[in-house]
Amino acid sequence: MDSVVVALEFADRINAHDVSGLAKLMTKDHAFVDSLGAKATRPAIEQGWRQYFEMVPDYWIEIERAFGFGDTAILLGRAGGTYVGKGGARKQKNRWETPAVWVARIKGRKIAEWRIYADNEPIREKMKEGNRLNP
């Protein structure tokens, strides 16, 4: 059950947009893996979170179910927010939401790997629209 507690704490830090708090919960060799399999490690992932929170300033995740299996936690839920394009305006039409699954591998009460499985098409579409409007 400890794996679930650590993963839920990480999710809380995401919802708080607390990059320092996220960093404290990451192992030194922490890896973030997105839905396409792209991997980011420390220290780059810390800057990646900052940039993502600027791009989606109201980004949120909602955990509906959580399961622990030894050093692994699986979280089921949804993610969403509002994409802010180059113009910097947060517009209702730029809101998106998608079902998501996160798999967290825990080492020493810290997150060694945070992997997300989600359909990125909703935010990609908003990004395409934003780039067409703000070349």
CATH number for position 123: 3.10.450.50
Distance CA 83, CA 89 (A): 9
Taking every pair of Cα atoms in the chain, the longest distance, rounded to a whole number of angstroms, is 48
DSSP code at position 56: S
Nearest to 36 by CA among 126, 116, 128, 99: 116
Give how many domains the chain has, as a whole number.
1
Q: How far is it, in rounded angstroms, from Cα 105 to Cα 114?
A: 7
Give me the domain span that covers residue 112. Answer: 2-133
pLDDT of residue 129: 62
The model scores a pTM over 0.85: yes
Q: What is the pLDDT along the chain (135 residues), one digit of tens a residue?
A: 599 999 999 999 999 999 999 999 999 999 999 999 999 999 999 999 999 999 899 999 999 999 999 999 999 999 999 888 665 555 667 788 899 999 999 999 999 999 999 876 655 665 656 554 444
